[in-house]
Amino acid sequence: MFVAPNIKVRGVKVASWRVPNRVEVDKDSWFFFVDEQPGANWEHQAKYILVDKISGIVRSFKAKTPPREILKLKPENPVAVNQLEMLKRTAKLYREVRLERLIKLSVQEKYALLVSGGWNASYNYSRYWNDLAFIYKALKKKYKYTDDEIIVLYANGAI
């Protein structure tokens, strides 16, 4: 469970990763985010919860993705602490890593970039590898991609 550090004031809209106006705050309220399946890939059960500052009335909204402000929320249990740390590391990678620094690409008509892996080494499930292998084979056989046109980023790069 995560909590916003400040009261959400009436009229504010809480955005999800996919929906800019996911929840509109109708009364000054505390905001909580509950991930019902921590560690799972997104598009799973979660909740946005508003608790009215004055009356204490609780309103719950079903969700499938975190709020956009997830990195600003305060984790309220050890699982959430770990989850937030992983999200922060991922966000840092997105900001700092540039694909062109990692891979020298020649000028070609097409490329395929296959990316997969768990959120840590313990969660690099075989199904992720199997999914990549399936797509890789389809690109080679059906779409006639060459090895030079397929870039695979799997897990931490060691596999």
SS3 141: helix
Q: For residue range 15-73, what is the model confidence (pLDDT) as tens digits?
A: 988 788 889 999 999 999 999 988 777 788 999 999 999 999 999 999 998 999 999 99
What is the pLDDT confidence band of residue 159, given thresholds at 50, 70 and 90?
very low
Q: For residue range 117-143, what is the model confidence (pLDDT) as tens digits?
A: 777 777 777 788 888 889 999 999 999
Return the ∠ at Cα 33 (arms to 32 and 36), rounded to 5°: 135
Report the predicted TM-score, pTM, of the whole model to 2 decimal places: 0.61
Q: Do residues 119 and 41 touch, judged by C-beta distance below 8 A?
A: no
Q: Do residues 23 and 50 touch, judged by C-beta distance below 8 A?
A: yes
pLDDT value at position 118? 76
